[in-house]
Amino acid sequence: MYRKLHSLTILLITVLLLASCTKSPETAVSAVSAARTYADYIGNGTKIAVEAGDAFGIVARDVFKAEDVRELPTVEDMLSALLAGDVNAALLSNGSSRLIMDSGDYPDFEYLIVPEDVYINRAAPVFYTKELRDKYNEWFAGVAADGTWKEIVDRWIGAPLPKQEDIPQFELSGENGVLRMCDTGSYAPLTYFDDNGKLAGFNVDMMSRFAEYMGMTLEIEIVPYEEIADYVASGKADMSACTLALTDERAKSMIFGEPSTITQAVLIVKKGGKIPYPSGIELEGAASVDRMFDVPNSKYFPVLDFYNMKSGGSLTIIENFKTFQQTTEFTCGPSCIVMLLEYYGMYDGQGDRAMYELRENKERPESMLKDLIIMLENFGDWDIYSTYDLEDPYEMPADLIINSLKEGKPVIFGDDDWGGHWKIIIGYDDMGDDITATDVLIVADPYDTTDHNQDGYAVISFERLYYNWSNRYDPDFSHNLFLIASPTQ
């Protein structure tokens, strides 16, 4: 209920951040919640979707150490796999990611930029002959110098697709023959079919101008991305309209032109489940050290996506349950009420401190079971089942937790963790056997600072809780503090 971080930890934080992190209410610290970064997805059994044949597959393996790199035919397939939970992330260019963001079709996605010093994608067309490559490089040097290339980039990359009437059209003479190219036709804004069913995009804009420079007409054959290099190498096309990532290994067997697209990688992930802190307050408690004690790629605590995890097999879990880190040292109970109200769509954004002020007993800093019930009753009528309803408070039904979760009802519970603490059980895994010693509980913990990943979730042993479910702070009950509540229908 009320705790202080070790003084040495406070000293270290003070030295490192040049800010006071004393944990008493009188010396609160202002802090901003740290967001997730690309580094959170390095290792830890990450599954990443990339477009088949794309160089980002190499990034997924070499940079992110992905356990599974899922190569899928289209961007739409990648996003569908992410939404379905088949992968943890999708890896795309910054231009493609911008289009997805601007479309407004995927509000549950978060975009994590991979820094340039970690990876930058330089991509160029590939050629069947060096002679054509040299002609292209000569032309590209000219359009880069006179600003034409920048104009094309600004039109297509990192911006909404232009209106149909704003797409440049070209009348190609064809006096010198046909320039045969290949492209995927399925990777906007680089290449896609417009409203008239005509191939358009950055690649078409670029290569139409090159064909004009060569005095040739342009034919673009649609080929799967992973087959582009072989298609050109076999002579079926004179060059690719699309660009391939330029790597030392590829340069040994392919004839690359000058890079025409230079992009950063962006990791697209589903938004996590944290409830924002109220604005205008100085953060104390777990909120004041948000993410400071995270250990990326911890060998002791694997990172699991509990927010997007789904029930199945031996696991029963409440999906998309959002967490909240308490903003004082003594508002763990009110923080649980914040999370419960958010889950039922009733949270008004006021935060744990506002809940704390609703208590009947204000003489002690701790929140009792009856205080939590009073807080809820300020938000309408509730169906409540708690320790008060047990015939014998010392006898807790062993199946109460799992049955409640199967009904979609989280279980708030209190015990002597941290000297007195409230948490919420949101998941139960019986591990597929009849041995309760192996059963685990997934909890939403408002003081989640000790498992190397302050996402607000933790895993505890069912049996250890069940046989040690005691507390020293609630005057009405010394054992089995719990609260199951749902709005009255």
What is the mean predicted confidence (pLDDT) over 469-482?
95
The residue from 73, 88, 120 where one domain ends is 120
- Regarding whether 133 and 71 lie in a shared domain, the answer is no
What's the confidence (pLDDT) of residue 110? 87
Q: Is residue 306 part of a domain?
A: yes
Q: Is residue 9 part of a domain?
A: no
> How far from the centroid of its chain's Cα atoms is residue 97's Cα?
14
Q: Is residue 145 part of a domain?
A: yes
**104/210 Cα distance (integer angstroms):** 34
- Regarding whether 408 and 319 lie in a shared domain, the answer is yes
- Regarding whether 234 and 203 lie in a shared domain, the answer is yes
What is the mean predicted confidence (pLDDT) over 249-256?
93
The residue from 221, 242, 263 where one domain ends is 242
- Regarding whether 354 and 378 lie in a shared domain, the answer is yes
Q: Is the CB of residue 245 less than 8 Å from the CB of residue 291?
A: no
pLDDT in tens, 104-131: 888 878 899 999 889 888 899 999 999 9
What is the mean predicted confidence (pLDDT) over 456-467?
96
Instruction: For residue 125, give the nearest of 262, 263, 264, 255 by alpha carbon.
Output: 255
Q: Is residue 265 part of a domain?
A: no
What is the mean predicted confidence (pLDDT) over 166-181?
93
Both tokens of 240, joined, read 């690719």
Both tokens of 70, joined, read 């899922």
Query: Confidence class of residue 30 from pLDDT cuts 50, 70 and 90?
Result: very low
- Please, what is the end-to-end C-alpha distance for the chain in angstroms? 32
pLDDT in tens, 324-354: 999 999 999 999 999 999 999 999 999 999 9
- Regarding whether 131 and 113 lie in a shared domain, the answer is no
Local structure of residue 89 (DSSP, 8 states): E
Radius of gyration of the chain (CA): 29
- Regarding whether 114 and 146 lie in a shared domain, the answer is no
Q: Mean pLDDT, the chain, as a whole number?
A: 88
Instruction: For residue 269, give the nearest of 479, 82, 124, 7 by alpha carbon.
Output: 82
- Regarding whether 182 and 77 lie in a shared domain, the answer is no
Alpha helix locations (H) across 307-447? 332-343, 352-356, 369-377, 400-406
Q: Is residue 366 part of a domain?
A: yes
Q: Is residue 19 part of a domain?
A: no
Q: Is residue 377 part of a domain?
A: yes
The residue from 120, 138, 173 where one domain ends is 120
**Number of domains into which the chain is organized:** 3
Q: Is residue 337 part of a domain?
A: yes
- Regarding whether 364 and 228 lie in a shared domain, the answer is no
- CATH number for the domain spanning 411: value is 3.90.70.30
Give the residue numbers spanning the domain of 290.
285-487
Lowest mean pLDDT among 10-19, 145-154, 244-253, 380-389: 10-19
Looking at the predicted structure, is the pLDDT value of residue 231 above 80?
yes
- CATH number for the domain spanning 220: value is 3.40.190
What is the mean predicted confidence (pLDDT) over 89-109?
85
- Regarding whether 431 and 349 lie in a shared domain, the answer is yes
